[in-house]
Amino acid sequence: MTDPRPMHLATRIIHAGQHPDPATGAVSTPIYQTSTFAFRDADEGAARFLGKDPGYKYTRLGNPTVAALEECVATLEGGCGALGAATGMAAINAVYLTFLGQGAHVVGTDSVYGPSRLVLENEYSRFGVASSWVDSSRPALVEAAMRPETRMVYIESPANPTMKLSDLRACADIAHAGGALLVVDNTFASPVLQRPLEMGADVVVHSLTKFLNGHTDVVGGVIVAKRREHLDRLKKVHYAMGGTMDPHQAWLILRGIKTLGLRMEKAQANALEVARFLEGHPAIAWVLHPGLPSHPQHDLARRQMDGPGAVFSFGVKGGLEAGKALINGLKLATLAVSLGGVETLVEHPASMTHTSMPRAEREAAGISDDLVRLAVGCEDVRDLIADLDQALAVAAAAEGAVPAGAGAVRT
């Protein structure tokens, strides 16, 4: 029996979806590493395929280890259920395929995770799906982009890597007034810091690869639906498209999630301290961190989120070259894409994750050449600051070596 009293999030992170194994009493959810499940007799097999018996049939169509992870994430997000996916992009594509069709239109955050936008622009467009990408931190722009055929408003907040926030309640109202669904990519915040379904969103997607798993050792995704009707439609499409989750992958992520609360607390505190250090450093041009009063949407962050997160961006004086010199000078922070792991990662979106976006669109979306993204981990913050400090000194020296005047030119 489920206790009728709702437990606090930190408790649910550890217990939701996980019960001692009925067969053996194993406290850790076993890895049900099987592709198929035996039926007692023909009638039981028939009942399972007809949906009259909820038992398992075949791992693409459901697996107990995957189900434990799904129940855990659905509980954390406040959804009616969830679907595990092979990757974040498999989850996002299942959502697109379920709710979009010939003639449909999507309004989305302009600086979303690159492939979430590009797959609509380059692939779904072949099947008659149109999309408009706007600065969704301004709800009026979302509203203005709505068309009679808009079926989905697709928001990422905080957005990658501009750290712009979108008002999720306002976006939900705009979407629903236009007869569209609000889908939110909640990867950056995680359910510890933000629960979009409580603010009117219909569907939440995650790249579990990031904060939820948290150890930079596995990829995965999940879809959470608020309503049963949507979950059922999603399930049908997702199971047929085949981008579902493997039991071993589910087990690893379930293990990672157990420390989500602890990791988020530590990484977030580290990030704020590093951001404050950078904001006060003379070689830094700007810092965008939702937890700093200098962030243009600091108030929205406090209203909508339970904390500003552990990812932020900044610009180095001297633009692209100085930024590159800084990145190359770091010894502790690792130069790699991805985020949300226990180790600090640094990346340069203009030359890495967002390089396939045309420059004009990139700049219009706020991804300038000097933007450096830092995904702060759980190390001792003194070591992170010392690392940045020495790398900034290296960058400043490199800039000094550039012929007079050239250092100020933004390439």
Catalytic residue among 110, 185, 202, 387: 185
Given the complex with ligand PLP, which of 32 and 113 has the nearer CB atom? 113
Given the complex with ligand PLP, which of 89 and 106 has the nearer CB atom? 89
CA dist list (Å): 38 to 46, 378, 394: 12, 44, 63
CB 107 within 8 A of CB 131: yes
In angstroms, give the least distance from the CB of 96 to ligand PLP: 12
By residue count, the chain amounts to 411
Given the complex with ligand PLP, which of 91 and 181 has the nearer CB atom? 91
Measuring CA to CA, which residue among 356, 132, 408, 94 is closest to residue 236? Answer: 94
In angstroms, give the least distance from the CB of 216 to ligand PLP: 12
Residue nearest to ligand PLP (CB): 88
The residue assigned the tokens 């690869």 is 209
Strand-pairing partners, residue 206, are: 222
Query: Can you tell me the distance from the alpha carbon of 24 to that of 404, in angstroms, rounded to the nearest whole number?
Result: 73
| DSSP string for 202-250 | SEEEEETTTTTT-SSS---EEEEESSHHHHHHHHHHHHHHT-B--HHHH
Q: Is 124 a catalytic residue?
A: no
Q: Is 60 a catalytic residue?
A: yes
In angstroms, give the least distance from the CB of 187 to ligand PLP: 4
Cis amide bond preceding 161, omega within 30: yes
Q: Is 185 a catalytic residue?
A: yes
In angstroms, give the least distance from the CB of 87 to ligand PLP: 3
Given the complex with ligand PLP, which of 79 and 309 has the nearer CB atom? 309
Burial classification of residue 275, based on how many CB atoms lie within 10 Å of its CB (0-12 exposed, 13-18 middle, 19 or more buried): buried
Type of residue numbered 400? G
Q: Is 40 a catalytic residue?
A: no
Residue 359 carries which DSSP code? Answer: H
Catalytic residue among 210, 235, 362, 373: 210
Given the complex with ligand PLP, which of 72 and 385 has the nearer CB atom? 72
Burial classification of residue 404, based on how many CB atoms lie within 10 Å of its CB (0-12 exposed, 13-18 middle, 19 or more buried): exposed
Catalytic residue among 113, 135, 154, 369: 113
In angstroms, give the least distance from the CB of 260 to ligand PLP: 16
Tell me if residue 134 falls in helix, strand or coil: strand
Residue 283 carries which DSSP code? Answer: T
Catalytic residue among 12, 57, 60, 147: 60
Burial classification of residue 184, based on how many CB atoms lie within 10 Å of its CB (0-12 exposed, 13-18 middle, 19 or more buried): buried
In angstroms, give the least distance from the CB of 112 to ligand PLP: 7
Given the complex with ligand PLP, which of 47 and 119 has the nearer CB atom? 119
**Residues binding ligand PLP (CB under 6 A):** 87-89, 113, 116, 156, 160, 185, 187-188, 207, 209-210, 219, 221
Tell me if residue 181 falls in helix, strand or coil: strand
The residue assigned the tokens 């855990």 is 72
In angstroms, give the least distance from the CB of 89 to ligand PLP: 4
Type of residue numbered 21? D
Tell me if residue 56 falls in helix, strand or coil: coil
Given the complex with ligand PLP, which of 90 and 388 has the nearer CB atom? 90
Active site residues: 60, 113, 185, 210
